[in-house]
Every structure is written in C-alpha cells, then in structure tokens.
Amino acid sequence: MEPDTKPHRLGSARKIILIVGVCALIVGGGVFAATSGVGADLVQSVAAPNSRPSAAPSTASPSEPPAAPPVQLVASPVNGAAQVNPAAPVTLSAKGGTLETVSLANAAGEKVAGSMGADDLTWTASEPLLFDSTYTLASTVKDAAGKSSTSTSSFSTVPAANEADAAIYPLDGMNVGVGQPLQIVFSEPVVNREAVEKAISVTTTAGQQGAFHWYSDTMVRYRPEAFWTANTTVTMDMKLFGLDIGNGQIANFNKTLNVNIGDKRVAVADATAHTFTLSINDQVIKTVPATMGDERFPSANGFAVLMEKNRYDHFRAASIGLKPGDPAFYGELDVEHTIRLSLSGAYIHQALESAYSSLGNANVSHGCIGLGPVDAAWVFDTMQTGDVVQVINTDGEYAAPTDGFQDWNIPWADYAN
C-alpha cells in the first residue's frame, strides 16, 4: 500500500508560497513593514544574514552648536609678572576667537584707558601705569562657535624702592638772568648718563646750543658756551618716565619747563678799586662804592650767579666757622637787602653801619660785597636771580662749582666733556 503523500506535498507547497510571499514583502515594503503578524520570526531569520547593527543614536541636542577649540590669550606682561616697568606696553591678544571686553585696573579699582583693534583681536593700554601697584587684566572672549568665556591675569609694577625722582631748577615759568644754568638733581644715582642726556631736549628761541656737565652721579647741569641770549625762552623737555637710569632704578616723570631769560645784567666787583659796577645789555648803568673780603676772608674769585634775594636776613658767625674769642667773631646780626652768591655764605648786602666809612676805601668784610643803604636797595631792586657778578682783583680762590652756580668758571672745553 502506497503511503499517502498528499498532505506532505500540501505542506511543502504552503511553505513555498509563504516564503515567496515574504520575499515579496521584503522587496516591496522594507524590513519595518514585516515585523508584525504571521511569519515575523521567519522574516528576521531571512533578513539577518545581510543586515548590520545600526549606529548608536546621538545624545546631542540639535540646537547646540558643535564644540570649538578654546581661545588662546597672549598677555603682556605675563600672568604673575613682578617689577614691571610702568612705561612698558600692556597688551592682550586672542587666537582662535575674538575679544569682547577688556578691563585693566589696579587694586583701588582705578581703570587704565585702552583701545581695541579694528579686528577685535588685540587690546592695548593707552596710558602709563602707576609705580608700586598690582593690576588685574580681565577679559571676555568669544570662540569660533560663538561661545563666550572669561579670563583674568595679574602683575605688579616696580616697587617704591626702585622709583627715581628728581628736583629741577629753575621752575617752569620762572624769569631768570642770563647766567642761570639748568639743574637736575636725581633722587638715585645715575649710571646710564648717556641715556638720560638723550632723553632730555634743550632748545632756545635764539637757537643756542649747550652741553650737560655731571657734577656727581645725582646732579647734572646744562648751560651754553656763553651766557644765554637776553630776552629769550629756554625750553627743557624731559622724557624720562620709565627710563632705567641704572641699578634697576626707574625714572618716574616726564616734564617740560619753559624758562624766561631777561635782560643781560652783569656786575663787576673790583676788590682793588672797591667798586661795584652794573651793566645792563652791555651798557654800564652805574658804579657804586663797595667793601669786600679782607685779607683773612678774601672774596671768592670769578663768576657767581645770584641765587636768591631776601629783604631781611639773619647772619650768624658760627655758620662760617667762627667762634667766640675769635677777633672776627660777630655773633648774630640782622642784615638788609641780601642777595646770596654761594651756599657757603657769600652775599651782596647792605653793609653794617660800622663799615660805612670803608665803602670805596678798604675791604673789611668776611667775604661778602657790602654796599651803602641806598646803593644796596637799588641793586636789590634792579638785579634778579640768574644775573651774574664777576669778582676781580681779589686774592680769593675760585669757589667750588657746586657752591652755588659757579659753572661759568669752568672753561667750555672742560665743561662740555
């Protein structure tokens, strides 16, 4: 008896039909279309050999921009710098982004002015800093993706111990005579003299040239070869702020001063003739009798520049080394119409009444130039600081150049070197 094979054929036929139907679904509608209903397991088993795992889903929000490299900031001075020269440029530059805001301020909150470049890549301070101060440089930057961030750095400037100042004479706007040198006295020793001289410009309306002369490592003066031209203006422009004068000492000032030169007033005091002759603009105006230093205290030789005037002054013998018991000791005296010629105590002044008979006849003073009351008042009113007195025919030595302004006793060839 033959086996009944029809049901078997029917089952095989059903499988074939089902497979063909599934294949038709795969081709016509995609995998997701066949993942429900009858034959789902079969679909997966058929599709698996040719499938690949899908990429993991992104966790980034579609609204966030892609990350950008951080902005690189280059600051000068660098963060943490110490003893920064207050004249040094302060800059901040951005790489890989732009600067939005920049602020530079000291510990007291005082801001330093500055300007941003046209491309917003560099900021530069536009004014000098203070000495002995700490500064904070704060900024906001934007990276290539438009994200903003902040940054700060700090530095400190030269301390007070390394700050160099100076006293200058004459003062700005002063009226002085033709013999007045310009003088600068620094608070600290100057090593870099050439650099200091290059930073100082001296000009005159008469076009005169002059030279510097260093008397010490702190004091320098400037004068022309001959007296200043009468009725002109001398301008000294000092650009010394931030200059290292040596040993790490930094100058703390810039200054411009204008000095007005008056008429040419030069007097000659003759110790032999016992006279005092004043010329104005090279014309003799008046000669008056005088008394000068005696044999023990001869008046100093050469040129002297009038330093200061006092209607009344108080003289003390002790100031020139005299003690009680010395025949020349005069104790203390009130004197009128005094004009200082030296730091050591030489003056033009009204003679004491006891010396009136010696005027024009003998030298009886302690080195000063004594005049009668009327003549002393006239000289006091006519002459001014910076005018010149030349003492001649005296046995006295030249006063030290720094014992007042005795610069004109130094030959020009020596002064200018």
Residues annotated as catalytic (active site), given as ranges: 349, 368
The two structure tokens encoding residue 415? 């002064």
Q: Where do the DSSP E strands lie in 283-331?
A: 283-291, 302-305, 308-316
Taking a C-beta distance cutoff of 8 angstroms, is the pair 265, 277 a contact?
no
Strands 388-392 and 265-270: parallel
HSE-CB for 389 with a 13 A CA cutoff: 30
The kind and range of the H/E element at 250 are strand 249-251
Distance CA 241, CA 165 (A): 10
Contact of 350 with 373, CB cutoff 8 Å: yes
**DSSP per-residue string spanning 81-95:** --SB-TTS--EEEEE
Paired sense of beta strands 163-164 and 249-251, if any: parallel
Structure tokens at 122: 């560099």
Residue 318, both tokens = 């002790």
**What is the spatial distance between Cα 269 and Cα 289, in angstroms, rounded to a whole number?**
10
- Report the side by side order of strands in the sheet with 219-224: 166-169, 182-186, 219-224, 210-214
